[in-house]
Homo-oligomer: A and B are copies of this chain.
Amino acid sequence: MGSDKAPESEIRGAILAARQYDVRVHLAGPEHIIRPILRQHLRGQHLPVFIVPASEWITMDDKAAQAVRSKRDSSMRVGLKMVREGRAAGFFTAGNTGAAMATAKMVLGMLAGVERPALVAVLPTTQGTPSLLLDVGANVDCDPDNLVQFAVMGHMYAQNVLKIRAPRVGLLSIGEEDSKGNSLTRDTLPLLRALPGINFTGNVEGRDLYNGNNDVAVCDGFVGNVALKTSEGIAKLVTASLRESLKSTVTSQVGALLSRKAFANFKKRLDYSEYGGAPLLGVRGVCIVGHGSSNERAVMNGIRVTAEFAQAEVNASIEAALAAPAANG
Q: Find the residue from A141, A207, A219, A269 having the highest chain B CB count within 10 A.
A: A207
A220 to B181, CA, bound (A): 12
Smallest CB separation, A231 vs chain B (Å): 5
Smallest CB separation, A181 vs chain B (Å): 7
Q: What residues of B have a CB within 8 angstroms of the CB of A181 in the complex?
A: 140, 222
Q: What residues of B have a CB within 8 angstroms of the CB of A230 in the complex?
A: 206-207, 209-210, 227, 230-231
- A18-44 interface code vs B (CB 8 A; 1 in, 0 out): 000000000000000000000000000
Q: Evaluate contact between A246 and B258: CB separation under 8 angstroms.
A: yes
- Tell yes or no: A174 within 8 A of B by CB: yes
Q: Given A174-B226, A262-B245, is A234 in contact with B235 using a C-beta cutoff of 8 Å?
A: yes
Q: Evaluate contact between A226 and B229: CB separation under 8 angstroms.
A: no
A220 to B222, CA, bound (A): 12
Q: What is the number of residues of chain A that contact chain B, defined by CB distance less than 8 Å?
A: 57
Smallest CB separation, A89 vs chain B (Å): 31
A210 to B241, CA, bound (A): 12
- Tell yes or no: A326 within 8 A of B by CB: no
Q: Which 10 A-B pairs have the closest CB atoms?
A: A206-B229, A206-B230, A207-B233, A140-B182, A245-B266, A210-B233, A245-B265, A174-B225, A246-B262, A210-B237
Residues on A facing B (Cβ under 8 Å): 124-126, 138, 140-141, 172-174, 181-183, 185, 205-211, 219-223, 225-242, 244-246, 248-250, 258, 261-263, 265-266, 269-270
